[in-house]
Structure 1
Amino acid sequence: MKSNKIIQRYLAVLLASFFLVLSNAGAQVIDQSTPDGLIKAVVSDVMASVKSDPEIQKGNIPRIVELVEKKILPYADMRRTTEMAMGPNWKKATPEQQAQLIAEFKSLLMRTYSGALSQLRDQTIQFKPLRAAPDDKEVIVKTVVLGRGDPVSLDYRLEKTANGWKVYDMNIMGVWLVEAYRNQFANQISQNGIDGLVKFLQDRNKQLATVKPAN
């Protein structure tokens, strides 16, 4: 079994890859009619965008947060991501608590893995053939990140919504993002309730906000 540090390292690359793949989405009209089209549409411009942005390369958190808010979130379903990470406890939360959890979890993901963006400058992404029926509402787009070291398998789980396809979960080398947080969330709730989980996320985000990015 992988250690927690190894899993966190893999997830850092996973999240950074997601940010990179979607970071230039605002520069073009994105085709959300097909799941692989959503991901593929922006890959060709991503690496050039990162290389030309010294602030991202430095790990400037406010700059990355701004980027994610404007150009990534329209193509991600953070509500469903948070709901899945919460498991059965999601239905126990009030609408206000649910809104707080979505906001804090989103912030946690952006801040925790923002530093990994500067590490992905020379990678390329290889797409696997999409195996899905035309009427499927949920699919997995499989990719491989090629660069230094061994190839890294990176999969995106998407759902078809009224506004096109949305990403709600990701997998790297067998580790799904939602699963990586589910036990942690459940433990916090069992000890301190849903409000305790909200406070835990708030405290963690405050702590991360004080960390200066490495040059």
Structure 2
Amino acid sequence: MNKFFALFVAAVVGLTGIARAADAVPVPEAMVRATSKEVMEVLKKESLPGNEKKLRDLIEAKILPSFDFTRITAQAVGKHWRDASPEQQAALVREFRTLLVRTYSTALTANKVQGIDVKPLKMGDADTDVIVKTEVANGGNQAFPIDYKLLKVSNNWKVYDVAVDGVSLVTNYRNSFNQTILKDGLDGLIKALSERNASAQAVKTTAK
């Protein structure tokens, strides 16, 4: 598995759902603190390996609502996004979202998150673009930093990029996406993502 995603998914459980700010704690920071505890408790109680449906339900309910997948996909596709038709854009978002969900469900069973240290966030009342910094303890290995980039959209805060040890999720995919688009076009990228998702599904079905 991509090492970047193994680390990313080990930490992403710390940023799920929308939480209300307590006292003077900025909403993005409160969002991380208030919900990381809830998800960690679920992960400790549930026997996730082999229970793919429950794991996917957890991801759908607790992780995905916090992410702006349209913005993330647009940034990963880069300059080619504006050349995509509405139908192509919708397909790209759908397939990329599915890819991430399957990556999460696989990596969550292989990584043990033991603690998430959320750093205090300093922001002004007018700020709409912030970075919440965290440090994740993972299965006895050396803790590593995760930076969540959030944008305020219609009074809600959404993640539009994540950096693990300084490596951006968007940048991590933009290079490979660009190579595929230059070779096979936007439809080629959609096809490649679709086939990758179908292959992953077939492997899981066969393994049952």
The TM-score, its normalising length taken from structure 2, stands at 0.88
Is it true that 1:154 corresponds to 2:116 in the alignment? no
The corresponding residue for 2:187 is: 195
In structure 2, runs of 5+ residues without a counterpart are none
1:155-205 per-residue CA deviation (whole Å, 9 max, x = no partner) reads: 111000104111121111111100000011111110111111000000000
- Work out whether residues 31 and 38 of structure 1, in 8 Å CA contact, stay in contact via their aligned partners in 2: yes
Is it true that 1:65 corresponds to 2:45 in the alignment? no
The corresponding residue for 2:72 is: 81
CA separation of 1:115/1:200 partners in 2, compared to 1, >3 Å: closer, same or farther? same
The corresponding residue for 1:126 is: 117
- Work out whether residues 17 and 120 of structure 1, in 8 Å CA contact, stay in contact via their aligned partners in 2: no
- Work out whether residues 75 and 165 of structure 1, in 8 Å CA contact, stay in contact via their aligned partners in 2: yes
Is it true that 1:39 corresponds to 2:32 in the alignment? yes
Deviates more, 1:75-84 or 1:59-68: 59-68
Shift of 1:210: 2.0
> 2:11 aligned to 12, 17, 22, which one?
17
Deviates more, 1:137-146 or 1:61-70: 61-70
1:12-49 per-residue CA deviation (whole Å, 9 max, x = no partner) reads: 2212421x2246x4xxx722771111111112222221
Letter in 2 for 1:158: L
Number of residues of Structure 1 aligned to a counterpart in Structure 2 = 202
1:117-155 per-residue CA deviation (whole Å, 9 max, x = no partner) reads: 124445111111213322111111000002411111111
The 1-side partners of 2:159 and 2:92 are apart by 18
The 1-side partners of 2:20 and 2:159 are apart by 14
CA separation of 1:22/1:35 partners in 2, compared to 1, >3 Å: closer, same or farther? closer
- Work out whether residues 116 and 137 of structure 2, in 8 Å CA contact, stay in contact via their aligned partners in 1: yes
- Work out whether residues 39 and 62 of structure 2, in 8 Å CA contact, stay in contact via their aligned partners in 1: no
Deviates more, 1:147-156 or 1:69-78: 69-78
In structure 1, runs of 5+ residues without a counterpart are none
Deviates more, 1:91-100 or 1:131-140: 131-140
> 2:43 aligned to 50, 63, 72, which one?
50
The corresponding residue for 2:19 is: 30
* Aligned counterparts, 1:129-208, within 5 A: 129-147=120-138, 148-208=140-200
- Work out whether residues 32 and 118 of structure 2, in 8 Å CA contact, stay in contact via their aligned partners in 1: no
